[in-house]
Structure 1
Amino acid sequence: MSLPTRPITRFRLLMAYLTMLLTFGILDGIWLGAIANQWYFGSLSSLLREQFITWPWLVFYLAYCAATLYLAVVPASGHWQQAAVKGAVLGATAYGAYNLTNYSIVANWPLPITLIDWSWGTLATAVVSTSGALALKLKH
């Protein structure tokens, strides 16, 4: 027997979304700023701009967290384990499409970066989905 679930209000959705954005920002900040910095910059330095453009990655974070909320968190109805699995599948698909396409068509795109980033996106999306599911369960 399962307990009745509380309705998902707009406020709860907003809180889940903001939690997911914060979680993703912290995770990617640690990942790109400390852990994988040398892997990416060392392997992709010839492909990088001197000055990064900010708006594309902001659009990505906003859209990706919204899609993850819609496709992984809401269908899991606040069950964090289901959200984590759905998030991992979404992350593997999205980051796989990005990395495998780059490996296929971008000259000198390294296979290790493909595999590392694909794995990272899978894990990060699972964690972000979990954070959203847990936020949906909180009493606001």
Structure 2
Amino acid sequence: MTHAFKPYLAALLVMGLLDALWLGVLARDFYRQEMGEQMAAQVRWVPALLFYFAYPAALVALALYPAGQPFAQQVARAALVGLVAYGVYDLTNLATLRHWPVRLALVDVAWGTFASTLAGAAAAWTTQRFG
């Protein structure tokens, strides 16, 4: 499956850059405000890196394969993967945590769907461009 390496790298790069911008700059204060004391003082890098290296692989596998789908269908599948993945995370938190604001869940699911869509589009474009 070496033909999946380039799309994986594209998804990894786009997802990493988007989330770094989102979590590190644009929405940092929003997450702090909404999560309050539940938010860790420092990022726990091992689980974060596990997510950021595994998620693009799942995104590529679920959105781009089987091969030969139209570009729009691959992008739509990437959006669906994002909606489901981030939805599972946020709905589970809403169901099990004492303080997980609905507003946070809605924003996070919307963001995850958006970022996954762009990462999936980058992976699909890379597949079509570079085979």
**TM-score (norm. length: structure 2):** 0.92
Distance in 2 between the 1:69 and 1:126 partners?
Answer: 11
| 3-state SS of paired residue (1:109) | coil
- C-alpha RMSD over aligned residues: 1.6
Q: Identical aligned pairs, as a percentage?
A: 34
Higher mean Cα deviation, 76-85 or 104-113?
76-85
1:95-130: CA deviation from partner (whole Å, max 9, x where unpaired) = 111001101111111110000001111111111111
Determine which of 45, 50, 56 is the counterpart of 1:59. 50
Structure 2 unmatched ranges of 5 or more? none
Aligned length: 131
Match of 2:80 among 78, 82, 89: 89
In structure 1, stretches of 5+ residues that fail to align are 1-8
> Given the superposition, is the C-alpha separation of residues 76 and 45 from structure 1 closer, same or farther in structure 2, using an over 3 Å criterion?
farther
Query: Does the CA-based 8 Å contact 1:17-1:65 persist in structure 2?
Result: yes
User: Where in structure 2 are the equivalents of 1:1-140 lying within 5 Å?
Assistant: 10=2, 12-75=3-66, 77=68, 79-139=70-130
**Could you say which structure has the higher helix fraction?**
2
Larger Rg: 1
Deviates more, 1:67-76 or 1:116-125: 67-76
Compute the displacement of 1:41 (Å).
1.0
Give 1:52 shift.
2.1
